[in-house]
Amino acid sequence: KKRPIRKLASIKPPQAPLAGVRVVEIGNYTTAPLACRQLGALGAYVVKVEAPGGDLGRSLPPVRDGQGYFFTLGNSDKRSLMVDLRTDSGKAMFRNLLSKSDILVENLKVRSLARLGFSEKEIARINPRLVHCSTTGFGIDSPYSSRAAMDTTIQGMSGIMDLTRSADGVPYKTGISIADLAGGQFGLLAALAALAYRDRTGRGQFVDLSMH
């Protein structure tokens, strides 16, 4: 007896692991965008919040059609929204996004959001179930917390450059930006772990992640 042939249209694709999870990203360059790129690839609905002028990485060369390859590769599977957090309307829009989201990932300078009215406590008040992952150079409680840091800074201060010297002994950074990349991947891991904890307990988390 012949089996009936199923129509391809009737075969539903498997649901993505993070389908239904809503993510807000606010940051520049690598760490936050990389973490959220991966969340988006896993099926999350990611809204990238950009200040007027956009992510600082948008114009990094090489550029095609006005947009850098670096930015394009790190920001797939996202929706972008311009929000000016210095204005009342921008604050209201951001507050509304947070109230409906599961995860916030940001890599702004320490206390940048707090100075705009969105401290960790205020964000938790807006949405007690929100996972808030903040990635900075040295962490909130570090003696260096007020210092801005890029990949090269972290490679130098962590000792990585001491291990990758030139033939004449001069310390050099690694060929790729490993501190930025590791920061993004640890941000992804922290966000997923905190989300699992939230789903078990009903309580959100604040994650203070130091690249250093």
Question: Can you tell me the distance from the alpha carbon of 212 to that of 209, in angstroms, rounded to the nearest whole number?
Answer: 9
Would you say 30 and 111 are in contact if contact means Cβ atoms under 8 Å apart?
A: no
Per-residue pLDDT tens over the stretch 83-142: 999 999 999 999 999 999 999 999 999 999 999 999 999 999 999 999 999 999 999 999
pLDDT value at position 4? 66
Phi, psi of 171, deg, nearest 5: -65, 135
Per-residue pLDDT tens over the stretch 125-184: 999 999 999 999 999 999 999 998 999 999 999 999 999 999 999 999 998 999 999 999
Per-residue burial over 155-185, b = 16 or more CB atoms within 10 Å of its CB, e = otherwise: bbbeebbeeeeeeeeeeebeeebbbbeebbe
pTM for this model (two decimals): 0.90
88 is catalytic: no
Q: In terms of Cα–Cα distance, which of 31, 29, 16, 151 is closest to 77?
A: 16
- pLDDT above 80 for 13: no
Residue 83, C-beta contacts closer than 8 angstroms, at least 6 positions apart: 49, 50, 51, 90, 93, 94
In the structure encoding, which two tokens stand for residue 15, read together? 């649901």
Question: Can you tell me the distance from the alpha carbon of 181 to that of 31, in angstroms, rounded to the nearest whole number?
Answer: 7
- pLDDT above 70 for 2: no
Task: Estimate the share of the chain in helix, then strand, then coil, as percent rounded to the nearest 5.
Answer: 35, 15, 45
Confidence of residue 8 (pLDDT cuts 50, 70, 90): low
Question: Can you tell me the distance from the alpha carbon of 73 to that of 93, in angstroms, rounded to the nearest whole number?
Answer: 27
Report H helices in the chain. Answer: 31-41, 69-74, 88-99, 112-115, 120-126, 151-158, 160-163, 178-201
- pLDDT above 70 for 7: no
- pLDDT above 80 for 1: no
On average, the pLDDT of the chain sits at 94
Catalytic residue (choose from 88, 162, 180, 208): 180
- pLDDT above 90 for 9: no
List, edge to edge, every strand of the sheet that includes 205-210. 79-82, 45-50, 22-26, 103-106, 131-136, 205-210
Would you say 98 and 125 are in contact if contact means Cβ atoms under 8 Å apart?
A: no
Alpha-carbon torsion (48, 103, 181, 142), positive or negative? positive
